[in-house]
Amino acid sequence: MKKLSFIAILILVLSLSFTGCSGNDKAETEQETKAVEPSTQGTPKEEVKADGEEKYEPLTFNYEIYGEKYEVVFEKAPERAVTLSQFMTEMLLALGLEDKMVGTAYMDNEIYPEFKEAYEGIEILSDKYPSKEVLFSVEPDFVSGWTSAFNEKRVASASEMMENGIHPYLATAIGGNGSLEAVYQDFRDLAKIFEVEEKGEEVINKMKAEVKAIQDKIGEISEAEMVKVFAFDSGETEPFVVSGGGVSGDIIRLAKGKNIFGEIEKGYATVSWEEVVAKQPDVIVIVDYGDTDYETKLNFLKDHPALKDLKAVKEERFVKIGLADMSPGVRNTKAIEELAKGFYPDKFE
């Protein structure tokens, strides 16, 4: 009996030793994987929590903000989101995430009507950018907006936010490489971060269907038939314009307009009035936002001596569009429709 007991104990000890080695190997393997591939890592979808729900798959995003590089890792869905731009506010609302939002700021236009009720339940931290102290007071774990928000001169640097438990998020679609496809990718990324992937695909599919319906109404148009578009943002001495890069430029293309400054790869650019006149636009788009309202910009362009002989001015072919519509987000299909109606009114009668 003693011999059998000794063997049983020996087997138990060996069993525990092998179990401990297995656990250490798994931990080391995970560390090596993160070191070798510092990109999106995660638990396979087939692994589940004890209650039957899928485990959160960690997501990694790499940014360069004002010359500094950051790696932001989401290991769980955010619970206290703050949005510092209208486009991001509406993107999260489109995904049904109002219950996860503890603050918003910096509206360019009125909130999209379908989000009005949800928006009114969220604290407005500031008309423009809030102070760092105000932002930190609501204890966010997620902050997103324009790149300028991640600057200590505006709100706080990305590194300071991260030191305070905040995950910065920068949309792919902002900047000179933006496009509607990038907007779709941002919706997918946000939907993964907040674990609402089905809702994300629903939003994307709806937007794609809306774009198709608009373009079907316009029909086939050759490049020679496309209206030439001057998209005016602001500026008196020199015009600041929507150029070819960025989501705003893509919106004009998808509305089948030919941007007269489409060859400029940046999202926005400063040009000269002489260049505008030389390119002879058929339509002038006026971006509406800020302290200078649409009517003021319209009258300025009508009264500008250099523009008085332009076809667009003589025929009063002006199209009003909100900055929020031209910023990356759920409004972009509305912007495409509004522009298309201004470019080809006979197609929408």
Domain ranges of the chain: 59-170, 220-348
* Residues 6 or more apart in contact with residue 117 via CB below 8 angstroms: none
Q: Which two tokens stand for residue 231?
A: 């998209």
DSSP states of 68-94: EEEEEEESS--SSEEEESHHHHHHHHH
Q: Which residues of 325-349 are buried (b: 16+ CB within 10 A; e: fewer)?
A: bbbbbbbbbbbbbbbbbbbbeeeee
Provide the pLDDT for residue 51. Answer: 56
Provide the pLDDT for residue 26. Answer: 21
Give every residue of the chain whose pLDDT is below 50, as ranges.
1-48
Each residue's pLDDT tens digit, 94-104: 999 999 999 99
How far is residue 186's CA from residue 21's CA, in Å, rounded to a whole number?
41
Per CATH, which fold does 59-170 belong to?
Rossmann fold (3.40.50)
pTM: 0.82
* 220-348 has the same fold as 59-170: yes
* Residues 6 or more apart in contact with residue 204 via CB below 8 angstroms: 184, 187, 188
Each residue's pLDDT tens digit, 180-202: 999 999 999 999 999 999 999 99
Q: Which CATH architecture is the domain 220-348 placed in? A: 3-Layer(aba) Sandwich (3.40)
Provide the pLDDT for residue 38. Answer: 31
Q: Which two tokens stand for residue 311?
A: 């076809």
Provide the pLDDT for residue 53. Answer: 62
